[in-house]
Structure 1
Amino acid sequence: MVSLQTSHFVSQISADLLIAEVSKLYASISKLESLRPSKEVNSLFTHLVKLCTLPLVIDITSLPKEVQAMRESLINLCGRAEGLLELEFSTFLTKVPQPLNNLILFPYYGNYVKLANMEYKILHQNGVVSPKKVAFVGSGPMPLTSFIMATYHMKSTHFDNFDIDEKANELAGQIVASDGELEKRMKFETRNITDVKEKLGEYDCVFLAALVGMNKEEKVKILEHIRKYMKEGGILLVRSAKGARAFLYPVVEEHDLVGFDVLSIVHPTNDVINSVVLVRKPIF
C-alpha cells in the first residue's frame, strides 16, 4: 500500500503507480465474500478513498480498455458497499431515540456536510437561495444531503426524495418521522426517475446523485429525461468525479449535458470526493 504520510511521495506519485495500487485494492475487494460493513471491508475502502483523493492529474478517458473495465466494475462494487453501509446505519438509527441527532455517528457524515456546504454555496452564487420545491434523485436509506440541506440551508423548502429501493425509502421515512417539522417538508417516493414525467416540472431544483446511472449510456438517458420534463429555467445539480476520484464514481462531462446551459463546474481538492456540475434548462 502506498504510504499516504509522505507529502514528498504523494506529490511524486505517478498515474501508473496509482493504477497499480487501485488494481491491487480492486483484486482484494472483488474477492470479498460480502460487501457488508466489517473491519476488512472498511479498511479496504478507506485505503481506496485515500488513494483516489491524492492530488494527481489523471485522464480517465485515455486509460487502456482493461483498466476502463476494472474501473466500471470497481464503481459498481463501491456503489453496492456504500448502499450496504447506509442500509446498516439507517436500520440502526430507526432503533434509537432522536435518530436525526445521531447522524453525526455515520462514518462519512463530515464529508456530506462539506459537500452540502459546497453545493449550497454554488446554488446561492447562481441565484438559488430558497427554492420552494426540490427533488433529490437517488436518495437511498440515508438521504444525508436532504437532511443537511433542509435543516441548515433550505429551512422552508419541500424535498421529494426518489429512490428505486422501497426498503431504503421506508427506513429514511422512519428517521424523518422523528421530527414533525421536517416530516411535513420531506417525502419519499419509490420510483425510477425515468417513470416520473409531469411531476418533474414542479421542482425549482433537482439533485442527481452520483450513483444514479452507473454507466455513460444510462446516465445520459436519465439526464435527457430530466431535461425533457423539468421546468424551463429549472436548475439541475449533477454530481460527477474528476481525476483519480473517477475510480469511485461515474464522470459526467459537458457534452453529456446537451440542451442545458452550464452555469458552474467545481472540482474539490479537499477530502470531498464528488465534483459538482450545475446546469439550467433554458427558457424558450
Structure 2
Amino acid sequence: MASLQNSNFETLIPAEILVARVTQIHGSISKLESLRPSKQVNSLLTHLVKLCTLPSDIDIEALPQEVQDMRENLIILSGRAEGLLELEFATFLSKIPKPLSNLNLFPYYGNYVELASLEYRILSENGVVQPKKVAFVGSGPMPLTSIVMATHHMKSTHFDNFDIDEAANDVARQLIASDVEFEKRVKFVTNDIMKVREKLGEYDCIFLAALVGMRKEEKLTIVGHIGKYMKAGGFLLVRSAKGARAFLYPALEQHDLPGFELLSIFHPTNELINSVVLVRKPISPN
C-alpha cells in the first residue's frame, strides 16, 4: 500500500487543502434551513463525497481540536441528510407496485450492492456462508444491506433489523410486505440497541451500521455492549471509515475493539466510502 501511495504522490490532495474545502462545505451545510433532499443539499453532499474519496494521506487523529469538532458536527449533519434521503425514497417506493424490483431508483443503490458483495466475500472467507440468524443494527427506513444480502447472498438466513426509529421501521416494513416469502425472514425491531441484551446472543453475525453511534465514544460504548451480550464465537461486522472518508463516518481502528479477535479489515480506494472491520468474539475469554 505504501508503494502505491508513493507512486501516486503527485495526485494526493494536500491535507490543508482538503480540510479547507471540507470546512467550507460544512459551513454551507450548517446554514441550510432543511437537510431534506433538494438540489442544494444533494449538490453539497455529492461534492463532499467526491472530495472525501480523493486520494489523500490525511491523518484524521492528528487534526487540531477545532477541526475534530467540525468533523463530528459534519458527520451528524450529513447523517441526518442521508436518513432523510432514504426516508423520501423508501416512502416513494412503498407506494408503487413491486418496490423491491425498483430499488435501483435509489441514487446510491449500486454502492450498497457493491458493499454487500464485498462484505459477503469477507464473511465467506472467514467461514460465514449461510448463517441461520443475522442482526443488522441501524437499518433505517431503507434496509438495503439486509435486502441485498437476503436476496443475493444469504438466501436462507433470517434477518432482524434493529432501529431506534419506529417511523423508519414502519416504512421499511411496507417495502418488505410486498413480498410475502421475503417478509417471513426479514423482520424489524424498534429498540435502542443498548437496551437489547439476551436477544443479542441469538445471532451468528451482527452488522453495525456506520451511523450507529455518530460520535466515536458512543460507538465504542455500543460495540462494548454488543460484545458483552453476543454469543461466543459470533461475528461482528463494523462499518468504519479511513482517512478523508472519516469526515463522513466515524472511524474505528483495531485498538478500538479490545476483547475481539480481528479477522479482517478492508479500506476502499474506489468510490466506496465505508471500511469493513470483521471481528469475532472469542469462544474462551482472553
Deviation at 1:258, TM superposition (A): 1.1
Whether 1:252 aligns to 2:256 is no
State TM-score, norm by structure 1. 0.96
Name structure 1 gaps, 5 residues minimum: 1-7
Please give the alpha-carbon distance, in whole angstroms, between the structure 2 residues aligned to 1:210 and 1:125. Answer: 22
Corresponding pairs, count: 277
Please give the alpha-carbon distance, in whole angstroms, between the structure 2 residues aligned to 1:119 and 1:12. Answer: 27
Please give the alpha-carbon distance, in whole angstroms, between the structure 2 residues aligned to 1:155 and 1:182. Answer: 10
Whether 1:109 aligns to 2:106 is no
Please give the alpha-carbon distance, in whole angstroms, between the structure 1 residues aligned to 2:39 and 2:196. Answer: 39
1:4 corresponding residue in structure 2: none
1:32 corresponding residue in structure 2: 32
Moved over 6 A (4+): none
Q: Classify 1:9/1:236 alpha carbon distance in 2 versus 1 (closer, same or farther; 3 Å).
A: closer
Please give the alpha-carbon distance, in whole angstroms, between the structure 1 residues aligned to 2:10 and 2:139. Answer: 34
1:51 corresponding residue in structure 2: 51
Please give the alpha-carbon distance, in whole angstroms, between the structure 2 residues aligned to 1:283 and 1:62. Answer: 36
1:155 corresponding residue in structure 2: 155
**1:87-110 CA-partner distances (Å, limit 9, x unpaired):** 111110111000001100001000
Please give the alpha-carbon distance, in whole angstroms, between the structure 2 residues aligned to 1:102 and 1:13. Answer: 37
Please give the alpha-carbon distance, in whole angstroms, between the structure 2 residues aligned to 1:68 and 1:196. Answer: 31
1:76 corresponding residue in structure 2: 76
2:3 corresponding residue in structure 1: none
Which SS does the other structure have where 1:159 is aligned? strand
Please give the alpha-carbon distance, in whole angstroms, between the structure 1 residues aligned to 2:218 and 2:43. Answer: 31
1:175 corresponding residue in structure 2: 175
Q: Classify 1:21/1:103 alpha carbon distance in 2 versus 1 (closer, same or farther; 3 Å).
A: same
Which SS does the other structure have where 1:239 is aligned? strand
* Counterpart residue identity of residue 282, structure 1: P
Please give the alpha-carbon distance, in whole angstroms, between the structure 2 residues aligned to 1:22 and 1:78. Answer: 12
Note if contact 1:203-1:234 (Cα within 8 Å) is conserved in structure 2. yes
1:262 corresponding residue in structure 2: 262
Deviation at 1:216, TM superposition (A): 1.7
Please give the alpha-carbon distance, in whole angstroms, between the structure 1 residues aligned to 2:22 and 2:224. Answer: 32
Note if contact 1:161-1:188 (Cα within 8 Å) is conserved in structure 2. yes
2:279 corresponding residue in structure 1: 279
Note if contact 1:10-1:54 (Cα within 8 Å) is conserved in structure 2. no
**1:70-123 CA-partner distances (Å, limit 9, x unpaired):** 000000001100000011111101110000011000010001011001100100
Q: Classify 1:9/1:22 alpha carbon distance in 2 versus 1 (closer, same or farther; 3 Å).
A: farther
Please give the alpha-carbon distance, in whole angstroms, between the structure 1 residues aligned to 2:158 and 2:10. Answer: 44
Which SS does the other structure have where 1:278 is aligned? strand
2:60 corresponding residue in structure 1: 60
1:205 corresponding residue in structure 2: 205
Which SS does the other structure have where 1:263 is aligned? strand
Please give the alpha-carbon distance, in whole angstroms, between the structure 2 residues aligned to 1:12 and 1:124. Answer: 34
Please give the alpha-carbon distance, in whole angstroms, between the structure 2 residues aligned to 1:171 and 1:10. Answer: 47
* Counterpart residue identity of residue 122, structure 1: I
Please give the alpha-carbon distance, in whole angstroms, between the structure 2 residues aligned to 1:12 and 1:141. Answer: 36
1:99 corresponding residue in structure 2: 99
Which SS does the other structure have where 2:189 is aligned? strand
Which SS does the other structure have where 1:160 is aligned? strand
Note if contact 1:140-1:163 (Cα within 8 Å) is conserved in structure 2. yes
* Counterpart residue identity of residue 212, structure 1: V
Q: Classify 1:116/1:202 alpha carbon distance in 2 versus 1 (closer, same or farther; 3 Å).
A: same
Deviation at 1:13, TM superposition (A): 2.1
Which SS does the other structure have where 2:173 is aligned? helix
Note if contact 2:233-2:283 (Cα within 8 Å) is conserved in structure 1. yes
Please give the alpha-carbon distance, in whole angstroms, between the structure 1 residues aligned to 2:158 and 2:215. Answer: 30
2:129 corresponding residue in structure 1: 129
**1:204-249 CA-partner distances (Å, limit 9, x unpaired):** 0000000001112211110111011100000000000000000000
Please give the alpha-carbon distance, in whole angstroms, between the structure 1 residues aligned to 2:236 and 2:13. Answer: 36
Mean Cα displacement is larger for which, 195-204 or 11-20?
11-20
Please give the alpha-carbon distance, in whole angstroms, between the structure 2 residues aligned to 1:122 and 1:168. Answer: 29
Deviation at 1:9, TM superposition (A): 10
Which SS does the other structure have where 2:91 is aligned? helix
Which SS does the other structure have where 2:271 is aligned? coil
Please give the alpha-carbon distance, in whole angstroms, between the structure 2 residues aligned to 1:274 and 1:219. Answer: 15
Please give the alpha-carbon distance, in whole angstroms, between the structure 2 residues aligned to 1:243 and 1:69. Answer: 16
Note if contact 1:136-1:207 (Cα within 8 Å) is conserved in structure 2. yes
The CA RMSD over aligned residues, in Å, is 1.1
Please give the alpha-carbon distance, in whole angstroms, between the structure 1 residues aligned to 2:277 and 2:14. Answer: 27
